[in-house]
């Protein structure tokens, strides 16, 4: 019987991911990182019932691992700070509401440990005590399992993992350009440029020869930053469409490759069949003769192999090296059937008993 594929064979379960993204979207609309706001949305959506309905123990533990891995995915970059806080709260809720006993631990990869520490450092500096308390509570309950890989490694792992789409609304955008544009850096750069031009005009010798910077450097920089910000907004709005089109393109490429492979195999078969020549009806009777000739040839080869001269034995080689010739035994042992002799010497029986005399 073919082996039945287990449920939730992939790392993430798509219906669960949709519900988690809906919860995080509601949490993002509150514009807060307080645990009270998140717990209210959790109770409103009845997220504690996600584990209800799984009867088998092995299936339940597998589903618990998937829920915790899904929450861990939103706890790590490239998502923004508020979504990462929501991922931490999700891990806390999933861990304490799971039905598996003993509870399944949260797998934290060692390569992501530095990012988690930076996240906690930023939370302490910003004064978000809810975030620090929830993480320390998970550590105190020994809910985090520090591992080398984020998922279990098995022999049935897929060769090509399915690409998980990233929600563009949850990503953390770079704010360094906006801070530079809104700050006093551009104004200071304009003042430095004006002061440089005044010093250049004061020096009569290098006024026309030296051009170390552009006169409108600040204006050009400001235009470039504005163009980048507008491009960033358009790009983030079109990420979901690009991900869907990318998946369709991959599926089309795989289908095209399979069709080309099938065409190649069929062409090879046609070439091999075309090279095969069928004998005509008038010449088919010669096939028996061919077989006979081939069989007679094999018999001749076997006879030649039998007639081939064998090398001398070890005893003969020893006598030859010592130059000792063996004495010929003129008497022949009595045999029931004597072999043919070259000189037709009659066979004489030496151990004949006398006749019986009564």
Classify residue 353 by its DSSP letter: P
- Specify the pLDDT at position 219: 78
- Higher-confidence residue: 35 or 266? 35
Does the predicted TM-score (pTM) go above 0.75? Answer: no
Structural contact between residues 68 and 106, judged by C-beta atoms closer than 8 angstroms = yes
Give residue 67's pLDDT: 93
Average pLDDT of span 238-265: 66
Residues 64-82: pLDDT tens digits? 999 999 999 999 988 899 9
Model pLDDT, residue 180: 67
Rounded to whole angstroms, the Cα distance separating 326 from 318 reads 11
Predicted confidence (pLDDT) at residue 275 exceeds the cutoff of 70? no
Confidence band (pLDDT; 50, 70, 90) for 126? Answer: very high
What is the overall mean pLDDT for the chain?
Answer: 75
Question: Tokens for 145?
Answer: 């399992």
Query: What pLDDT score does 95 carry?
Result: 96
Say how far apart CA 344 and CA 81 lie, in whole Å.
116
Query: Across 27-31, 311-315, 324-328, which has the greatest mean pLDDT?
Result: 27-31
Q: Coil, strand or helix: which one is 47?
A: helix
The residue among 162 and 197 whose pLDDT is bigger is 197
Instruction: Give the pLDDT of residue 84.
Output: 94
**Structure-model confidence comparison of residues 286 and 99, the more confident one:** 99
Q: Which residue has the higher pLDDT, 86 or 293?
A: 86
Strands 144-147 and 106-109 turn out to be parallel
For 155-196, the pLDDT digits (tens) are 655 555 555 667 766 666 666 666 666 667 777 878 887 887
Question: Per-residue pLDDT tens for 335-357?
Answer: 555 555 545 555 555 566 666 66
What is the phi/psi pair of residue 313, to 5°? -75, 175
Selected residue with higher pLDDT from 175 and 40: 40
The confidence score (pLDDT) of residue 54 equals 85
What residues does 62 pair with on adjacent strands?
none
DSSP per-residue letters across 297-317: HHHHHHHHHHHSPPPPPHHHH
Residue 83 has pLDDT above 80, yes or no: yes
pLDDT band for position 6 (cuts 50, 70, 90): very low
Phi/psi-derived region of residue 146, left when phi > 0, alpha when psi is between -120 and 50, beta in every other case: beta
* Other Cβ atoms closer than 10 A to 149: 10
Per-residue confidence (pLDDT) for residue 134, from 0 to 100? 95
Query: Given a cut of 60, is residue 332 above it in pLDDT?
Result: no
Note the residue count of the chain.
358
Q: Are 85 and 131 in contact (CB under 8 A)?
A: yes
Percent of the chain with pLDDT over 90: 31
Question: What's the confidence (pLDDT) of residue 22?
Answer: 94
């Amino acid at each position: 019987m073919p082996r039945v594929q287990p449920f939730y064979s992939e790392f993430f379960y798509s219906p669960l991911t949709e519900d988690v993204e809906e919860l995080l979207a509601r949490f993002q609309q509150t514009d807060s990182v307080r645990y009270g706001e998140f717990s209210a949305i959790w109770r409103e959506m009845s997220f504690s019932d996600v584990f209800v309905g799984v009867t088998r123990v092995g299936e339940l533990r597998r589903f618990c691992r998937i829920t915790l891995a899904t929450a861990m995915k939103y706890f790590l970059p490239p998502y923004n700070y508020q979504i990462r806080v929501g991922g931490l709260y999700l891990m806390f809720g999933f861990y304490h509401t799971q039905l598996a006993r003993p509870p399944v631990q949260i797998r934290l990869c060692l390569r992501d440990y530095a990012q988690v520490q930076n996240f906690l450092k930023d939370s302490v500096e910003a004064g978000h005590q809810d975030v620090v308390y929830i993480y320390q509570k998970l550590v105190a309950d020994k809910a985090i399992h520090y591992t080398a890989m984020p998922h279990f490694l098995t022999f049935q792992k897929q060769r090509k993992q399915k690409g998980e789409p990233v929600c563009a609304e949850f990503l953390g955008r770079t704010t360094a350009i906006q801070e530079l544009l809104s700050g006093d850096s551009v104004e200071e750069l304009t003042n430095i440029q004006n002061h440089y031009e005044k010093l250049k005009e004061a020096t009569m010798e290098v006024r026309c020869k030296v051009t170390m910077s552009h006169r409108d450097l600040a204006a050009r920089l400001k235009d470039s930053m504005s163009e980048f910000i507008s491009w960033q907004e358009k790009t983030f709005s079109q990420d979901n469409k690009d991900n869907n089109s990318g998946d369709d393109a991959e599926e089309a490429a795989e289908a095209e490759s399979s069709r080309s492979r099938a065409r190649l195999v069929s062409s090879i078969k046609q070439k091999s069949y075309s090279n095969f020549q069928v004998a005509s009806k008038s010449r088919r009777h010669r096939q028996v003769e061919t077989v006979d000739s081939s069989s007679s040839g094999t018999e001749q080869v076997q006879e030649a192999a039998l007639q081939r001269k064998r090398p001398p034995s070890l005893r003969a080689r020893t006598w030859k090296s010592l130059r000792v010739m063996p004495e010929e035994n003129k008497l022949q042992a009595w045999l029931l059937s004597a072999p043919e002799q070259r000189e037709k010497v009659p066979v004489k029986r030496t151990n004949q008993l006398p006749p019986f005399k009564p």
